[in-house]
Amino acid sequence: MVLPLLFAVTLHEAAHAWVADKKGDSTARMLGRITLNPWVHTDLFGTIIIPLLMFMTTGFIFGYAKPVPVNPLNLRRPKHDMAWVAAAGPGMNLLLAVISGVLYRAILLIYPQLSAFGGVGNFGSSDGLLSAFFVPLLLMLRFSVTINILLMVFNLIPIPPLDGGRVLVGILPERQSRLIGQIEPYGMLLLIVLVFIDPFGIMQRFFWPIVSVFTGYIFGEWVI
């Protein structure tokens, strides 16, 4: 689980930095944030301490990476370009999920005997060496699809400071975008309530079904 999670978080943040640089703001590039080095994007509290505490106490992982610094005044079209910068992270997660899903299905197409392992593999069979290499890879690819879709859908929740909130601010008319922007100081509290209390069953009715649809299509397990 660790490697796919590191790739998902690292490339998510690097995508923000890369698009910001392309749109005219070099702040993140000058701070070395356009990199595949996960440590650069790691926040001690949000990336290590909170997820560990959450996992040990609830079995659920919740955390965040170090935010990418963006100066909107340096962007060529600040309002619209910020929407592109925000969308880059979830877009990268979708791309990683699709690539992981394609590789997963390609391996099973080449070695169909591995499809019978049920996610674990039979290391005592004649295909033991094959399983010893490909089963961990398949498990990592499967988790990569799941975690990247989770990150994409979660970050697209239209509440600032999540990416979905910033996209919404960028595409709405000025008056409405200002109203959405005023939510940001209370955004983290709203997210905690949404995730852990789930008023009106919003997560249960919308979030998890959307995650299920995306992962189902990528794995080829969803039938229209």
Catalytic residues: 13
Contact 219, 211 (CB under 8 A): no
- Residue 133 and residue 47: Cα distance in Å, rounded? 29
Sign of CA dihedral 24, 152, 6, 203: positive
Angle between helices 128-155 and 208-219 (to 10 degrees): 140
Contact 43, 59 (CB under 8 A): no
Alpha carbon of 146 to those of 39, 98, 150, 191: distances in Å? 23, 10, 6, 20
Continuous segment of H or E residues that includes residue 50 = helix 50-58
- Residue 134 and residue 130: Cα distance in Å, rounded? 6
Q: Among 46, 40, 45, 42, which Cα is nearest to 28's?
A: 40
